[in-house]
Structure 1
Amino acid sequence: MSRGAAVAACVLLGACASGGRPAPAETLQGYLDASAIRSLADAAPAPAPWSHSDVPPTEPGTDRWWMATAHAQLAAPDGAQHFDCALGARFAQQPRPALSRLMNRLLSDADSLTRLLAERSPRPRPIKAIAGLEPCQRVNDAMREGPSWPAGGAVAGAAWGEMFAALAPDRAAEARRMGREIGLSRAICRMNWPADVADGAVLGQRLIAAETSPAFAADLEAARAEVAAARAEGLTNPGCAAERRALAQVAQAGRGAVSEP
């Protein structure tokens, strides 16, 4: 692993975080009820075609590979760190309860939608379909046997990208890009096919558009104040230089079969 990759993995995975951080929040119920989730699922596009040749070319041990490893941790508060560099803040430096609640309830909605669609159109993961393919994270049998479509990380990433774009409009483009990168990481990690990531990104945008409840609006406003406070602290994530190198690697190599929705 390069020194830059080591720094990125250490910082983004939380190994270099300061002491006294809160434990990850327990699983929260989403904002949407079962009827709303079914409506989103019924309107979802049909799964896009896929091929064994679609695995992204990013090799294990590269900066972007280690970034994908970090992105495997989705739940807040750790998941908020993925947007540190996009917004120029250090979100895990201290508790941000409203932001964590907002992210984790959106993650719960993304998980509910993903599970429902996966039951309708099961598809094997790359690490299941291709013998010997190395994932970027530890996997158990249940994860290996789990469905690939749609990519749940891409659903959550796209929804969070739109969420952070609303919380920090001056960094909207950067927030949306990071949301897409979180989804792309699932393909780089060999956990989802690129076509499943692309479909997941579309679903994530539709999911956030459906979040119209008073509870969501209240959490969004509370999180807006926390994000503004975090940015005003003037702290930056020391892994940002490594993150820029990782993203530049992918830009130079091409983005495989994943396209922006």
Structure 2
Amino acid sequence: MRVVNPLVVLPLVLAGCASGPLQPPPPPPAAAAPARVVPELRPGIPAGYLGRALPDSLALLPPPPAKGSPGFAQDQAISRAAQKLRRTPRYALATADADLRFPHVASAFSCALGIPISQQDTPRLYLLLQRSLVDAGLATYAAKDHYKRTRPFVFYKEATCAPADEAQLRTDGSYPSGHTAISWTWALLLTELSPGQADALLARGRAFGENRLICNAHWQSDVLQGRAVAAGALAMLHANADFNDDMAAARAEISSLRGSGVPASGCDAEAAALQIRIPGVQ
């Protein structure tokens, strides 16, 4: 074995020390982490976070008010009051809120949040809304399919704000409201992401659900219990790692976009519509 003379090595070490301590060689570059694969319901349509592990709305909720009960009488009174808002700006907003298709629905909370929500401006927030919509919406179906409650437009033989949807809605149970479960889930998670806008976000979430009364698609008890389903869905979402990753990324996007000063658009018209309240709904 060859012996290294320390008198030869020492000057090299001292020379290195003259300009600072010896540094180990840099490690090889780490391989890039693989991109997270988002499951899809069909090409281009992301699945929810929870899969089949959804809150059981049938176990969570009481039965809907029976015909002839005081609860149903209240539902009927609110339904008739809501129909007085046809041909108003609030009815136009309710019609817009009825459409749950992306990219349209992603902007529903832009004014309340104070920044535009879009796939281009806030891609992780956009994905968060897409995936949580699936979970909140599907969580209503255990109760919907069990009770098969008749919707008000069918009960009264009237129209809705979305005539193209009526054939499907006739066979889709009214209780609880899926639109409300989705909008209240969004209102709650957006409030977590941007607590400074809490009042506006929660008010917009409430109005989104109540717009289903104006559209003649739901009874008030459907809307109220849709919020309960939303609370259960969001609680379960918080135990999901992918959801929490997207929440963190969305929070950073919101902060960055707000710092750039890019405003949401169309907010004056929305604010005016939201000033029109359903008579009897506090």
Specify the code of the residue in structure 2 equivalent to 1:101.
L
In the alignment, does 2:199 pair up with 1:182? no
Partner in structure 1 of residue 59 of structure 2:
42
Q: How many residues align?
A: 229
Q: Secondary structure at the match of 1:34?
A: coil
Aligned match for 2:118, one of 92, 109, 120: 92
In the TM superposition, 1:1-261 aligns within 5 A as 26-38=44-56, 41-48=58-65, 49-51=71-73, 52-55=76-79, 56-92=82-118, 94-131=120-157, 133-138=158-163, 139-211=165-237, 212-250=239-277, 254-256=279-281
Specify the code of the residue in structure 2 equivalent to 1:166.
E
Partner in structure 2 of residue 4 of structure 1:
none
Runs (5+) with no aligned partner, structure 2:
1-42, 66-70
* CA–CA distance in structure 1, aligned partners of residues 62 and 249 of structure 2: 33
Q: Indicate how the Cα distance of structure 1 residues 26 and 144 shifts in structure 2: closer, same or farther if over 3 A, else same.
A: farther
- How big is each residue's C-alpha offset from its partner over 1:1-30, in whole Å with a ceiling of 9 and x where there is no partner? xxxxxxxxxxxxxxxxxxxxxxxx943221
Residue 45 of structure 1 deviates from its aligned partner by: 3.4
Q: State the identity as a percent.
A: 29
* CA–CA distance in structure 1, aligned partners of residues 102 and 199 of structure 2: 21
RMSD over aligned CA atoms reads 2.1
Residue 35 of structure 1 deviates from its aligned partner by: 3.8
Residue 130 of structure 1 deviates from its aligned partner by: 0.6
Residue 113 of structure 1 deviates from its aligned partner by: 1.1
- How big is each residue's C-alpha offset from its partner over 1:65-84, in whole Å with a ceiling of 9 and x where there is no partner? 00101111234432231111
Deviates more, 1:229-238 or 1:59-68: 229-238
Q: Indicate how the Cα distance of structure 1 residues 213 and 172 shifts in structure 2: closer, same or farther if over 3 A, else same.
A: same
Deviates more, 1:171-180 or 1:237-246: 237-246
Of the two, which has the highest radius of gyration? 2
Q: Secondary structure at the match of 2:270?
A: helix
Q: Indicate how the Cα distance of structure 1 residues 41 and 33 shifts in structure 2: closer, same or farther if over 3 A, else same.
A: farther
Q: Indicate how the Cα distance of structure 1 residues 104 and 50 shifts in structure 2: closer, same or farther if over 3 A, else same.
A: farther
